[in-house]
Every structure is written in C-alpha cells, then in structure tokens.
Structure 1
Amino acid sequence: MRTFFSEDHRLHFPQAELSGGEFVTPYERPSRVEYILGQLKERRLGEIVAPGPVDMGPAERLLDAGFLRFLETAYDEWKAAGQGGEVIAAGMPTRRQRHDRIPRNIDGKVEYYCHASETAITGGTWRAAQSSLASAQAAQREVAGGARGAFALCRPPGHHATSDQYGGYCFINNAAVVAEMFRMGGARRVTVLDVDFHHGNGTQDIFWRRGDVMFASIHGDPLDAYPYFAGYADEIGEGEGKGPTSTCRLPPGTGYGPWAEALDGLIARIRDWGAEALVVSLGVDAYKDDPISFFKLDSPDFLDCGRRIGRMGLPTVFCMEGGYAIEQVGVNTVNVLEGFEDA
C-alpha cells in the first residue's frame, strides 16, 4: 500500500489551543505525523510518495465558495486589521441570532465560519490544508487506477469541516472530497466509514441530503463527547439522503468487544447498501490512553479493525483524521493499514 504525504503540513502549527480553561500546545500538531511516518518506514508497509498539485475542482462541487475564499484570505485580513496573534474565534452565531448575513469585519467573519474555537488559523494553514487535500486526491487516484488500497497521511485532518465551517482541527473535508471524486469517476454508491472517536459531523453535514454517498460512523456518545450537537441515532439524513446515514454512539469506557460489534453492524449495512468504493476516516483516538477520548481500544485491536475493513473487498482510501496519544499514534495507525493488507 502506498502512502501519500506532503511536507507542507508543517506550515500549519498553531502555538496555542484553549483547553480546560487555559492555553496549551495543540493536541493536533506536526509531531503526530513523524510517529506515523516512523512506523510506516520501520514496518516497510509501502512507498511514501509526495502528492501532485491540489485540484480544487472537486472541493468546489461540495463546499461553499465564500467559505473557501475565507480560508484562503482569513489570516491576511486578520493581520491587516491589526490583530497580533493567530486567528481564533471569540464566539459563534447562537440560537435565535441571524445566520443569513456574513459580517464584513474579520472578527465577525471568523465567528461566522468557525464552529469550534480550539481551532486556530495561522499564516500557513491554507497551504497546509490544500496539501492535505492533495494527498487525499493522490490516494484516490491510486485506488481509482486499480490499487486495492491507499493511505492519505492527511494533516490537518478534515472530518469535522462542514460545507461552510471549520473546527475540530479541520478545514477542508478530505474524505468527503475523495468520495465525490469516486462518484465523478463512475462509482454509483460510495461509503465514508468514520472510525474516529469523534463523530464526523462535517462529513454527515455534506452528504445529509445525498442518496449516493453513505456516511457511517462509530463514535463517543455526543452527550459526553465533542462535537456534542451531532451524532445521535435519529440522524438519518433528509430527502434522497434519508436512510444511508448510519451512526452508532457508544458510552464512556467502551472496549473493543462492543466497538467491534458496532463495526460489524455498519459493515453489514454497507454491504447491503451496495457500496462500490470505500473511504475510511481513519482516526485512532479510540485508543485507551488517548487524552481527549474515553474508549478503551488497545493497539492489537486496530490490527483486527483493519482486517474487518479489508475483508469487505472494496477499493479503499484511508484518510488520516485524529489520534492524540502521540507515542502510540504511529503504531495504531499502521496496525489498521497492516490489518487491511493482511485481509
């Protein structure tokens, strides 16, 4: 299996994240990638390849044009307004406030386009987000060309980014764009399977009314875990999208037994639905020692997870999402990929 990866991810490195009432080094930081690369090389999983240029065309089919323009220009506008630090939202539109007007002031624009203030924009964020998408696109082209699977080592991640908002460390929804590329290439039905601990609210939002892309997710109960306001069992889509959306929320302390049972249930639904291609939002923050999750999976469990996904026999692109137990993120990620290869 080939891995697609861009060094430009380093251009996005916010210096602070608001967590627990204080500013800390962000959990989503460049060193995560180094541990994954180290494991890929040590275990010789396959060639590591730089992607070609990004193609924004497929993203523009899914995402709001004003939002993309905002991401491209936000940092420069912020600095031109005399702001000294990184771009951080001070608030968001709330219940019974107007959502149909985009402010002219950069402070207001940030609040309009952001849904989680732990996510900062720096001078290099836009280029890093584009390079992350380029890696995902290169992996999709690899699989569309006949490979059984490919890994996009995406950073920043993407599954919390909606069609018109960023947050949860995510700016462009890489997995959603890959699914759209499979559709553009002729696949009639595509599934995005999200195994990250946190519900992929952005992916669900993008395909909410689509009947050709299934979103399936296993995640921490949003009563207890971010993103809190999405990921409940009654969220089944609307219109043509009613039905394909399938989510499974699990409680604090969930171990691999019930987690794997939930995965098998989603796999059965994916098979019955008739998916022709699979995109895996590969977060490994279900790990027992992850600092911002509450599942109890151990490293060998990720091998078995990969085998279960591999036995589906679908052309598969893995897009890297979360995983913040830094010293184990490489082991756990490559275990999934190795299990997939073993299957």
Structure 2
Amino acid sequence: MKVVFNEAQKRHYPKNFLVSGAQKPNPEVPERADRLLAAALDSGLEQVTPPDYGLSAVSAVHTPEYLDFLEHVHARWQRIEGASEEVVPNVHPNYRDGRYPHSVVGQAGYHMADTACPISGETWQAALWSAHAATHAAWLVLEGDPAAYALSRPPGHHAYADIAGGFCFLNNSGVAAAKLRRRHARVAIIDVDVHHGNGTQGMFYRRDDVLTVSIHADPVRFYPFFWGHADERGEGPGLGYNFNLPVPRGTADDDYMPILDRALQRVQAFAPQAIVVALGLDAYEGDPLQGLSISTPGFARIGERLAKLGLPSVIVQEGGYLCDELGLNLSSFLDGFTNAHKI
C-alpha cells in the first residue's frame, strides 16, 4: 500500500482555539503528520507525493464562492486595522439563505462554523495539498491499487460544501468519494472518527449515489452537537442513504465491534463498488479529546472488518491527536487492514 503526503500540508500551524470559552492550544498541529507518516513507513507503506490537481477535484464538492473565500480571506483580513493574526469569526448568521455579506468579517462568520478552524496565511495551500493527497489516493485505487492511504492533514470531515469547522477546511473524504464516482456508480464513506462527520453528511445528504455511514460518540453532549443523531437519514433522493450510529461516551472495543458490524451490514446492502474510510484515531482510549475507549489492538480489529468488505479502498486520515500511542494506533489499523484485505 502507498501513503500519499506532501510536506506542504504541515505549513498550517494553528496556535489556539476556544474550548468552553477558554483559549487553549490547538491540538491539530504539524507533528501529527510527522508521527503518522513515520508509523506508515514503519508499517511498510511506500511514500508518494501527490501531483497538483489544481481546483478540479475540490470544486467537485465545494462551491466556488467558498473556495474563493478560503484562498483570499487571510490577505483580506490583514487589511483590517487591529485584526488578529489568524482569521477567527466573531459573528454568525442565524440562517444562511439570506444575503451574502461583502465584509470579510461577515463572510468569515458565514463560512466558518466555529473557532476551531483559524485561518493563517499558510492554511489554504496546506488544506489544498491535503485534498490533493486524498485525490491522488483515489486515483491510485482507480488505477488498480487495492487500497491507498491519504495522510490528509489538515483533516476534512467537518467541512461542508461551503463551511469550515472543527479543524477542517476541505472535505478530503468527500473529495476522494467524488473522484471514485467518476468510474464507480456507487461509493460508500465509512467514518470511524470519534466525532460525527457532519460536513460529509451534509455534502451528500440529498444524494443516493454516495452512502454516508458514521460511528461516533453521541453528539447530545459532544461535538458537533447539532448533527450526528440516529434520526438523520438523508433527504429527498438521499433519504435512507445516511446512517448514523451514535454510541455512548467511553464505548470500548467489545461493545464497539457489533456496532461496526451493523454499519458494514448497511454498506453491503448498498453494494458499493469502492469505499472511503474516514479514519479517525481519536476514538483511542488515551486520545486527548477523550470520547471513546478503543484500544490499540482494537484498531487492528476495525481494520480487519473494513478490509473484509473486499472492496477497493481509500483510507483518508481524519482525527487522532498527540499522544504516545498515536503512531502505534495507525500501525495497528494498517496491519489489521492489510492482513485481511483480499480482492
């Protein structure tokens, strides 16, 4: 298997974010990529650098209005006297179907869901190369690789078609799925991050060609709070093509695996020709965000179950934050996946 990564993805280095109103160091730091890349290489993966796909791939799932905002917002923000070093919104609309503001302050509130996605002068290029990694991993699979791992950092699954949030700017899993759809009629996205993939859900909520499945800590008291509940099943043509499996905080391996089996049963009923795995290692019992309690060996069990679908697979990195076991958790998943993957 190949790991796809470009060093430019490390240029985004957010300093702070707000937690319960308090300013804290942002955990989505470049060192995450260093540790994950080292683990992937130790697991025998071959590193490749993605080509520059321009905007062709990201424009398949993001609006031109939003892409223009991301590319230029920091330079515009810096023209405001006394503005912060990073773009952080301070006002949000109560609904988003009204007029589009001319002010960059208003546009920041319109396009940024929360304060966990500060934008620096390096964010746009880092996020774009992260999406290029996902695009190229999908291209490798389309060209015949059974599976490929996109070390996408910054992550993406909280990003909607026109909204950033939760450390995410471009939806890498959605980008990979759109790339796979160019050849496959049906693609499934299986999200095992500790948080609900609300951006991914929103992106495909009215579509029946991409099944979205997410297993995550119950959002009733956990980010993203407003999305990820079991009664969210899709709308219009997409009704029945979104499947959420919220689980109690602290759920550990033995209780998690039957829920994963339910998710995979739904995937099999959809009969996709390829899958995207939105891999969040923050479900780990020792992760700083403390949502679920998956053990290091538990990630191997998750990998084994996903691999047994026997489908071309794009693995896209989502969450997983700095702890001593971060690299071990990725290695465990990759070992379980590669040992069980048969096509």
**How would you bin the TM-score normalised by the shorter chain?**
over 0.9
**Take 1:52 and 1:167, find their aligned partners in 2: how far apart are those partners?**
26
Give matches, 1:6-17, under 5 Å: 6-17=6-17
* Contact 2:40/2:330 (<8 A) preserved: no
* Contact 1:91/1:117 (<8 A) preserved: no
* Contact 2:86/2:119 (<8 A) preserved: yes
Give matches, 1:76-87, under 5 Å: 76-82=75-81, 83-87=83-87
User: CA shift at 1:9, angstroms?
Assistant: 1.3
* Contact 1:81/1:106 (<8 A) preserved: no
User: CA shift at 1:106, angstroms?
Assistant: 1.2
2:215 maps to: 218
**Take 1:34 and 1:287, find their aligned partners in 2: how far apart are those partners?**
19
**1:144-186 superposed Cα distances (whole Å, 9 cap, x missing partner):** 11111000000110000001100100001011111111111x2
2:227 maps to: 230
1:267 maps to: 264
Aligned AA for 2:130? S
**Take 2:270 and 2:97, find their aligned partners in 1: how far apart are those partners?**
35
Instruction: Pick closer, same or farther for the CA change 1:162–1:98 going to 2, 3 Å.
Output: closer
1:187 aligns with 2:184: yes
Aligned AA for 1:160? H
Q: Helix, strand or coil for the counterpart of 1:327?
A: coil
Runs (4 or more) in structure 1 with deviation over 6 Å come to none
User: CA shift at 1:258, angstroms?
Assistant: 1.8
* Contact 1:86/1:120 (<8 A) preserved: yes
Unmatched 5+ stretches in structure 2: none
**Take 1:161 and 1:207, find their aligned partners in 2: how far apart are those partners?**
12
2:171 maps to: 173
1:326 aligns with 2:338: no
2:64 maps to: 65
Aligned AA for 1:312? L
**1:209-261 superposed Cα distances (whole Å, 9 cap, x missing partner):** 10000000100101011000000111000111111111100011211112111
Q: Helix, strand or coil for the counterpart of 1:134?
A: helix
CA RMSD in angstroms, aligned pairs only: 1.2
* Contact 2:281/2:329 (<8 A) preserved: yes
* Contact 2:14/2:28 (<8 A) preserved: no
Aligned AA for 2:47? I
Give matches, 1:156-167, under 5 Å: 156-167=154-165
* Contact 1:35/1:326 (<8 A) preserved: no
1:242 aligns with 2:264: no
**Take 2:187 and 2:124, find their aligned partners in 1: how far apart are those partners?**
28
TM norm structure 1:
0.96
Q: Helix, strand or coil for the counterpart of 1:24?
A: strand
**Take 1:295 and 1:37, find their aligned partners in 2: how far apart are those partners?**
24
Q: Helix, strand or coil for the counterpart of 1:109?
A: helix
**1:81-121 superposed Cα distances (whole Å, 9 cap, x missing partner):** 23242101113222xx5642121111111001111112100
Moved more, 148-157 or 325-334: 325-334
User: CA shift at 1:39, angstroms?
Assistant: 1.5
**Take 1:58 and 1:209, find their aligned partners in 2: how far apart are those partners?**
20
* Contact 1:54/1:133 (<8 A) preserved: no
2:4 maps to: 4
Unmatched 5+ stretches in structure 1: none
1:103 maps to: 101
Instruction: Pick closer, same or farther for the CA change 1:58–1:276 going to 2, 3 Å.
Output: same
Moved more, 203-212 or 57-66: 57-66
**Take 2:45 and 2:59, find their aligned partners in 1: how far apart are those partners?**
31
Percent identity for Structure 1 against Structure 2: 37
**1:47-68 superposed Cα distances (whole Å, 9 cap, x missing partner):** 1111111242232132111111
Aligned AA for 1:240? P
Q: How many residues align?
A: 339
Aligned AA for 1:156? P
Q: For 1:198, which of 168, 192, 195 is the aligned residue?
A: 195
**Take 1:280 and 1:84, find their aligned partners in 2: how far apart are those partners?**
36
